Amino acid sequence: LMACIQIAKGTSSRKLQEFYYKSHSRYLVWANRFNAVGIEGLKNLPGRGRKPKLSNEDLKAIRQIVLKESPEEYGYNTETWTGPLLIDFIKNEFAVEYKKAAIYVILKKRLGLSYQKGKGFFPESDSQKREEFVNLLKKTSGNRL
């Protein structure tokens, strides 16, 4: 707005470029938009930026799958969804590729989900041997060489 006022007073866009560090063509665009539409012409228009690769319906479907279904149902050998697993799933199901960092941004910002680390469960573990080991550690913790 201040640039438009300055231009109306006769200041050149090249001179404004020196003061405000924007290209002179940017001031001309703003002045033309102000003359055509008024103050509303200076507001940012909606729809700027890159369009998402996945539609809102696709994202809703992915959210439901992550929350309600196991990766095993889709042929993966695990019960927990991970970033790399989701990248592969989305690539196979929706023909869209994402990088690892991007998938976590999508999970958090677009799907409202957060990363949860599961506690490991080892079916082959022996609780009796574990107890013996813990007791052995307790006995030897005071003995230093």
Chain segment 50-72, per-residue pLDDT in tens = 888 999 999 999 999 999 999 99
- pTM of full prediction above 0.85: no
Could you tell me if 37 and 12 lie in one domain? yes
User: How many domains is the chain built from?
Assistant: 2
Could you tell me if 38 and 73 lie in one domain? no
Could you tell me if 62 and 102 lie in one domain? yes
The pLDDT assigned to 18 comes to 79
Could you tell me if 38 and 60 lie in one domain? no
pLDDT tens digits for range 114-128? 877 766 666 667 788
The amino acid at 32: N
144 domain-assigned: no
Whether the predicted pLDDT of 15 surpasses 70: yes
The amino acid at 64: Q
**Cα–Cα distance, 70 to 76 (Å, whole number):** 9
The amino acid at 35: N
Task: Note down the domain range covering 32.
Answer: 2-42
The pLDDT assigned to 121 comes to 65
37 domain-assigned: yes
Could you tell me if 64 and 99 lie in one domain? yes
